[in-house]
Amino acid sequence: MNAQELTGQACTHIVDLPDPPCRLHAHVRAAFLGLRRAAAADGMDLAAHSSFRDFQRQLAIWNGKFSGTRPMYDAAGSLIETAALTPAARIDAILLWSALPGASRHHWGTDVDLIDRHATAPGYQVQLTQAEFRAGGPFAALNAWLEDNAARFGFFRPYQGVRSGVQPEPWHLSFAPIAEDARQDLSPEILRAAIEAAPLLGKELVLARLEELHQRFVARIDQP
């Protein structure tokens, strides 16, 4: 991937799947469909709640959280009062659950947030919370199934709460053969260029800490 693709500013590496609707890297499509067929054989309707996300979408998420127009949550999943936080504390709080624009693994088309559409009643609003994937939650069976089967198709969980600064996300799967190359290619310099050109709230503070943030939230993941 080139710098524009790595940072979500281009989608030339992305293809659209009609059913279930999602957008993936062209070389992830076959593996994802294989994973989905295997899940279907075990009675699950695997779907991507989120797949490719471009830079502008990630920027809107970031600025919404920084400004307080979108909700933010602490490590335990409790709502945070944004106005009570300093700008520096807002950055730390956002990064618990959301990536910097330009640094999201969703930019690569290799990463998907997965749900089982058979596991919820019509009208259920998916939250993508840890509680939904724990025992008693609607996606507990999916969580166990992915633990046993994802690696067979090249997928792994990059956020398990061991090495990365991101909170554990049992719904988040990544296609290792392509994502690992992208992770190594996304340098601090490439990320800095993308952020410097964007209307990012808190930009000066982010740029001052960019080497640290890159190491903690991009370079350091829970390895496949």
pLDDT digits (tens, 9 = 90+) for 115-143: 999 999 999 999 999 999 999 999 999 99
pLDDT number for residue 61: 96
**pLDDT value at position 224?**
75
Total-model pTM: 0.93
More confident residue, 131 or 166: 131
At 183 the pLDDT is 96
Examine the pLDDT at 100 and tell me if it is beyond 80. Answer: yes
Comparison of pLDDT for 19 and 170, the residue scoring more: 170
pLDDT of residue 162: 80
24 touches 51 (CB < 8 A): yes
Q: What is the pLDDT of residue 83?
A: 87
Q: Tokens standing for 178?
A: 């392509």
The CATH classification number of 3-219 equals: 3.30.1380.10
Confidence at residue 9, expressed as pLDDT on a 0 to 100 scale: 97
Q: What is the pLDDT of residue 153?
A: 98
Distance of alpha carbon 97 from alpha carbon 94, whole angstroms = 6
Per-residue pLDDT band at 191 (split at 50, 70, 90) = very high
